[in-house]
Amino acid sequence: MSVVHPAASATEKTTLTAADWERAALDLIAEKGLSGLGVEPLARRLGITKGSFYWHFPTRDQLLEQALSRWERQDTESLARSLDSALPAAERLAEFVLRTSRQNRSHQIHAALCAASDDPRVRPVLERVTQRRLDYLAKAFRELGLDPESARHRARLTYTSYVGYIQLQSRGMAPERGSDEFEAYVQHAIETLIDTH
């Protein structure tokens, strides 16, 4: 028996794109986690009928897959901009620590996806994103003079610091941004993680 979905009006079909649904899905994942992603909550958030959703996606799972693909693509583009930077490696690494200490939507999505890493759709995306980030960090540490093995270890240490910190942020357990404690932590992290002597 086929399921009949509410029809989308012509206006809804043309005003909302698949990309709009993908962005809204990522926002909802950032706020509510993977389990909070549903067609009805998204439609309410966008102020539109569910019919518009089914015009673009046959299922919630396909929306999830395309939203994850969008997040991974954006992360890759951001990493490429960092990799192409003419800044010296130490400055690029310091910028990484500064960026990761400032809570943003991408970090919230990352924290939510880490919490759902046992999901077979999420796990390979997280693995690819993690490996690309580790490769970038290791390359920067090699540029600072570390041998390949030491650079890989330092990259992993730096990255686990990032992942742990965004988990604390997501639970409201990190120092408040702009506070003296926060600024002291960021400076300490930069000095500790990037000092290669």
Domain, as residue range, for 48: 1-66
More confident call, 6 vs 158: 158
- Same domain (yes/no): 40, 97: no
Both tokens of 86, joined, read 């003419």
pLDDT of residue 118: 96
pLDDT tens-digit map of 88-116 = 999 999 988 888 887 678 889 999 999 99
- Asked if residue 73 belongs to a domain, the reply is no
Q: Which of 12-26, 53-67, 131-145, 150-164 has the lowest mean pLDDT?
A: 12-26
- Same domain (yes/no): 101, 176: yes
Q: What is the mean pLDDT of residues 138-148?
A: 96
- Asked if residue 71 belongs to a domain, the reply is no
- Same domain (yes/no): 90, 62: no
- Same domain (yes/no): 116, 190: yes
**Of the residues 39, 66, 93, the one at which a domain ends:** 66
> Is there a contact between 168 and 109 (Cβ–Cβ < 8 Å)?
no
- Asked if residue 26 belongs to a domain, the reply is yes
* CATH number reported for the structural domain that contains residue 11 in this entry: 1.10.10.60
d(CA 182, CA 178) in angstroms, rounded, equals: 6
- Same domain (yes/no): 56, 96: no
Res 19 pLDDT > 60: yes
- Same domain (yes/no): 58, 92: no
- Same domain (yes/no): 139, 172: yes
- Same domain (yes/no): 52, 97: no
More confident call, 176 vs 62: 62
Q: What is the mean pLDDT of residues 134-155?
A: 96
**Of the residues 66, 99, 115, the one at which a domain ends:** 66
Residue 196: pLDDT band by 50, 70, 90 thresholds?
confident
> Is there a contact between 30 and 22 (Cβ–Cβ < 8 Å)?
no
pLDDT tens-digit map of 75-90 = 999 888 877 778 899 9
- Asked if residue 79 belongs to a domain, the reply is no
- Asked if residue 76 belongs to a domain, the reply is no
pLDDT of residue 103: 65
Q: What value does the mean pLDDT of the chain take?
A: 88
In angstroms, the Cα distances linking 156 to 43, 149, 171 are 40, 11, 23
Res 10 pLDDT > 50: no
- Asked if residue 41 belongs to a domain, the reply is yes
pLDDT of residue 25: 97
- Asked if residue 80 belongs to a domain, the reply is no
- Same domain (yes/no): 10, 59: yes
Res 37 pLDDT > 50: yes
- Same domain (yes/no): 111, 146: yes
d(CA 127, CA 148) in angstroms, rounded, equals: 21
Q: Which of 8-12, 34-38, 144-148, 171-175 has the lowest mean pLDDT?
A: 8-12
- Same domain (yes/no): 99, 189: yes
Question: What percentage of the chain exceeds 90 in pLDDT?
Answer: 61
In angstroms, the Cα distances linking 45 to 35, 38, 146, 167 are 16, 11, 49, 26
> Is there a contact between 79 and 117 (Cβ–Cβ < 8 Å)?
no
- Same domain (yes/no): 168, 130: yes
Count of domains in the chain? Answer: 2
| pTM of the predicted model as reported, rounded to 2 decimal places | 0.85
